[in-house]
Amino acid sequence: MEGDVKPSRVLFYAHFNEFGRVEDYVVYQLQQMRGIFDTIVLVSNSPVSEKDQTRLSSLCDTLMQRENVGFDFAAWRDGMNAFGWTRLTACREITVMNDTCFGPLFDFDELYSAMQSRGCDFWGITTNIALPDVLVDGDRATLKAPAHIQSYYMTFNAGVISAPIFKEFWTGVKDYPEALDVIDNYEVGLTRVLTGGGFTFSVFFDAVNHWSSGHLDKYNTVFACPLWLVESVDRYPFIKTKAIRLDPEQVDGLRSFIENHTSYPVQLVDSYIGGRYYALWKEKDDEIQSLRNSRAFRVSQVLASPFRGVMRMVGR
């Protein structure tokens, strides 16, 4: 890719699906991003079938498939290396994004333009602070972290891209096997490295400020209170797919908000939950017990006949 004509805006999109498929919500998301970016490089940490490659052919300029190591940061690293750093440093803006959210719920071009007008060097959607104490193999481990941009979406301007510390950061990314190491070294580390180099950042919603000032009683807002986010933050663009899996009781409220206040196709949520339920049921996964209680799954039964048979068997 090194010798191609340089684009102005490039999106590096990290994909992973444990069942080896490209979900409909991913296709929709790429359709919405297609008009914003000159070039989209999709890097998948899971196999992409020929059928899905055909679906993606008009939505990305490059599709890379790689071994599932190092999570999204390693995928972005490999995408940038393949794209070529000579070409990369000539870009006006680059964005890293992954497939962990439903959305955008609203016109993302409006949000993109508004964030550009803030005059910062790099930006994202939300901030987070440290992870609390967590149990790892029975031992108490603490991960301390300053406020940082959450890495499911980040955009960098030309000044950042051409800075030596930016290339040094990405070419130094390792294939850590544990997610906490990726968060500590790379999600937290990237904001730390860039601000340490004198660059400024902004976010669409400063969750850390709301949390520290007492307006929120839970940190990591995107997981802890997604319904509050979309209801309270005007035109908030994304809902974490994992937030629904962690707390299926919020599904009905989120579906209602999407149906009544956004143009986002709510059936994309239904098909994701219904399809995941079916795949997990075949593996007898405990997660189906919480998923099966959500209205999204009940709707999915109507949308796809295989789920009706599954529900009858599980419901006995």
* Model pLDDT for residues 166-194, shown as the tens digit of each residue: 999 999 999 999 988 998 899 999 999 99
Residue 39 lies in a domain: yes
CATH of the domain at 33: 3.90.550
Condensed to tens digits (0 to 9), the pLDDT of residues 302-316 reads 333 333 333 222 322
For residue 81, the enclosing domain spans 9-243
Question: Structural domain tally of the chain?
Answer: 1
In a domain, 300, yes or no: no
pTM of the model: 0.83
Is 37 within a domain? yes
- Phi, psi torsion values for 59, nearest 5 degrees: -105, -15
The conformation of residue 205, written as its DSSP 8-state character, comes to E
**Residues in contact with 231: Cβ distance below 8 Å, sequence separation at least 6, in sequence order:** 257
HSE-up of 293 (CA within 13 Å, CB side)? 10
Q: Is 203 helix (H, G, I), strand (E, B) or coil?
A: strand
Name the token pair of 76: 């972005």
- How confident is the model over 41-60, as pLDDT tens digits? 999 999 999 999 999 999 99
Amino acid symbol at 4: D
On whether residue 289 sits in a domain, the answer given is: no
Residue 227 lies in a domain: yes
Asked whether residue 49 is domain-assigned, the answer is: yes
Tell me if 118 is assigned to some domain.
yes
Residue with the two structure tokens 């669409």: 204
- Asked, for residue 173, whether it belongs to a domain, the answer is yes
The 8-class DSSP code of residue 5 comes to P
Indicate whether 107 pLDDT > 70: yes
Q: Give pLDDT, residue 207.
A: 80
Residues of the chain with pLDDT > 90, as a percent, come to 62
Res. 252: pLDDT tops 60: yes
